[in-house]
Homo-oligomer: A and B are copies of this chain.
Amino acid sequence: MAQRGTDTTPEDAGAEASKARLRMWLRMLKSTRQVEAVLRERLRAEFDTTLPRFDVMAALARYESGLKMSALSGVLRVSNGNVTGIVDRLAEDGIVVRVQVPGDRRASLVRLTRKGQEEFARQAEAHEAWIGELLSDFSAEEADTLSDRFDAVSHKEDET
């Protein structure tokens, strides 16, 4: 849009806010992807693992008695197929076990083994330290404020 002198009309202000939000979104997306790229690289180098494996273990760590595959897929928002492959590999590595659901022969739960819990504790500690370093420009107060602001975004979308 061409400059229309120094007067600012409500339309200009709206267009400006819209551009500012778009710029914010593109930079938020870029920094999110960059942090994820660093996490992927470090998980590979230091733990010989992947971000989806870490995410599956993180989800299981929150449910000590285990999760059904369908619930695990829901938590991760990835396709059932992917989760199945990841869980198969984690089971081969002794990180998770499948346990039968009492009274439901067709359903099984996945849960971390003792070894899986210990391995996840090590990875989670490193992960937290990496995030602390990558976001070290944000003070604790600023991080708390932004946590609330991002929640507002999540709830906004619940309305759509």
Contact = CB atoms under 8 A, between A and B. Distances in A.
Nearest to A146: B24
Interface in A65-79: 77
A41 to B, nearest CB: 9
Given A77-B33, A140-B16, A143-B17, A24 B135 contact: yes
A127 B21 CA distance: 11
B153 A134 contact: yes
Contacts of A144: 20, 23-24
Interface residues of A, number: 51
Given A18-B128, A77-B33, A27 B137 contact: no
Interface of A: 13, 16-25, 27-38, 77, 127-129, 131-132, 134-144, 146-147, 149-154, 156-157, 160
